[in-house]
Amino acid sequence: MVRGIYTGASGMQAQQHRMDALANNLANVDVTGYKKDTSIQKAFPEMLMRRFNDDGVHRFPIGSVDVAPVVGKLGTGVEYNESFTVFTQGALKQTENPFDLALESEGFFSIQTNEGERYTRNGSFILGKEGYLLTKEGYHVLGENGPIQIKANNFTIDEEGNVWQNLDFADDPNRLVTMDENTWENTELVDKLKIVGFDGQGDRFIKKQGTSLWTDTTESGPAAILNDSGRPKVRQGFLEGSNVNPVREMVEMIEVNRAYEANQKVISTHDSLLDKLINNAARF
């Protein structure tokens, strides 16, 4: 009877983890490049139930075997296993801002932070005072040759991630350029965006840092620059939205609430039965 209380309590804890993941997803539904989390549970080992009243033990010279009829299996609860990040593609939104970049398919932008290299799908970048392409937190966006330095209205990025500039206006840093006067007849390759990925199931084991950065782990292995065949398309003037579907998350929240209440009733019922056993059955 007490076992049922433990089973119900484990179910409530599992639903609490699910609710935490859903609430976090909804809180970040508008964060560029956010990837939703989902809570994974696993069941405790099930018990094989046999009929009590049958003497099913058959003994023989080298041992014994239980031949009592099996009446079914008994679940013993569930436990939280891990938070799994779903890396499905988010919808692309056109912004027409040349500093906004989005990736189509798998891969990450590389960012140089104070703690080392980090990875992101959030391509909402800005131009720093020294002409470097930065994240909104002030971290450098990396190319394959280091931080990318460009000039406003004098650069373009193609689908392969190549950063081009117009040589006609590149020499003078004080010369302001407008998009209308830029004819792109004399271009030069500045660098190529450092877009990386992880071998095998490495994406599964990278670790979130904040709302839009990831770091590699021992299990994921180091990040590697993606070659041309596995490289995602880079879309300039677009941002990738989160892959959270708010309607689905709300529906799952309702399911979690009902499952939580069901587990509460399991505990309440077992508590009531235990009360009768102790306070009433003991009188006879």
Note the pLDDT tens digit of each residue in 24-70: 999 999 999 999 999 998 888 777 777 666 666 767 777 777 777 77
Q: Are residues 98 and 192 in the same domain?
A: yes
d(CA 142, CA 117): 9
Q: Does the residue 152 lie in any domain? A: yes
Residue among 249, 230, 253 nearest 34 (CA) = 249
* Three-state secondary structure call for residue 131: coil
Quote the CA–CA distance of 211 and 137 in Å, as a whole number.
12
Residues 82 and 137 in one domain: no
End-to-end CA distance of the chain: 20
User: In this structure, are residues 109 and 121 in contact, taking their beta carbons and an 8 Å threshold?
Assistant: yes
Residues 139 and 233 grouped into a single domain: yes
Structural domain includes residue 50: no
Domain that holds residue 263: 1-43+77-86+245-282
Looking at the structure of the chain, the number of domains it has is 2
In a domain, 277, yes or no: yes
Per residue in 3-36, pLDDT (tens digit) is 788 888 999 999 999 999 999 999 999 999 999 9
Q: Does 110 lie in the same domain as 177?
A: yes
Quick check: is 142 in a domain?
A: yes
Degrees to nearest 5, angle at CA 230 with 211 and 138: 30
Are 207 and 258 in a shared domain? no
14 within domain boundaries: yes
64 within a domain of the structure (yes/no): no
Report how far residue 256's alpha carbon sits from residue 102's, in angstroms, rounded to the nearest whole number: 34
Strand-pairing partners, residue 235, are 102
Structure tokens at 218: 């021992």
Query: Does the global pTM surpass 0.75?
Result: yes
Instruction: Indicate whether 198 and 255 sit together in one domain.
Output: no
Average pLDDT over residues 244-252: 95
107 and 173 belong to one structural domain:
yes
